Amino acid sequence: MKNLFEPARARELTERIEQVRPDSPPLWGTMTAPQAMAHCAVAMEWAVGDTVAPRMMIGRVLGPLVRRMAVRNDEPMAKNAPTAPDLRIADERELATEQARLIRLIERFATGGPAGCTTNPHSFFGRMKPEEWAVLMYKHVDHHLRQFGA
């Protein structure tokens, strides 16, 4: 499965992030391109352990089941999937700043490998193995790059 511990996948996402433009229209959803890059960066901050999001009550019940479905194959994430409240970006952001931030976090995650991955639970999915984080983070960033045609 594609994951962010693979250097080729990290490079692929980085190249695609650089293709996004401030005026890139979303193919679905309501986020602007800068908001989507910031949204992905916040999720990557969870993955490297810089921030810890509170657990969602519904995730305590459904999280483990949905996690197994989400990280078991290379199928892309569905369009208009629900967003955790802590990942919502309401204010406008500067694209170049958010792209650089996201690229730094991807590089940090990829080079840190399993040892550099958080041991904190995901807000919805709960406890995850580093390999699950690597698959989920690849799929998440890929999802938002596809949202903007990159």
What is the full DSSP assignment across 24-64?
Answer: PPPSSSS--HHHHHHHHHHHHHHHHTS--PPPPHHHHHHHH
Q: Is residue 2 part of a domain?
A: no
Determine the pLDDT at residue 65: 64
Q: Is residue 65 part of a domain?
A: yes
Residue 109 belongs to domain with CATH number: 1.20.120
Q: Residue 9, class by beta-carbon neighbours within 10 Å (0-12 exposed, 13-18 middle, 19+ buried)? A: buried
Give the domain range for residue 113: 7-147
Where would I find the H helices in the chain? 7-19, 33-48, 57-70, 95-112, 130-147
- From the list 39, 1, 47, the residue with the least C-alpha distance to 20 is 39
Domain count, the chain: 1
Q: Is residue 1 part of a domain?
A: no
CA atoms within 13 A on the CB side of 75: 9
User: What is the pLDDT tens value at each position of the chain, 150 positions in all?
Assistant: 999 999 999 999 999 999 999 999 999 999 999 999 999 999 999 999 999 988 888 777 777 767 887 888 899 988 988 788 889 999 999 999 999 999 999 999 999 999 999 999 999 899 999 999 999 999 999 999 999 999
**CA-angle at 25, arms to 21 and 29, nearest 5°:** 125
Could you give the CA distance from residue 65 to residue 70 in angstroms, rounded to a whole number? 9
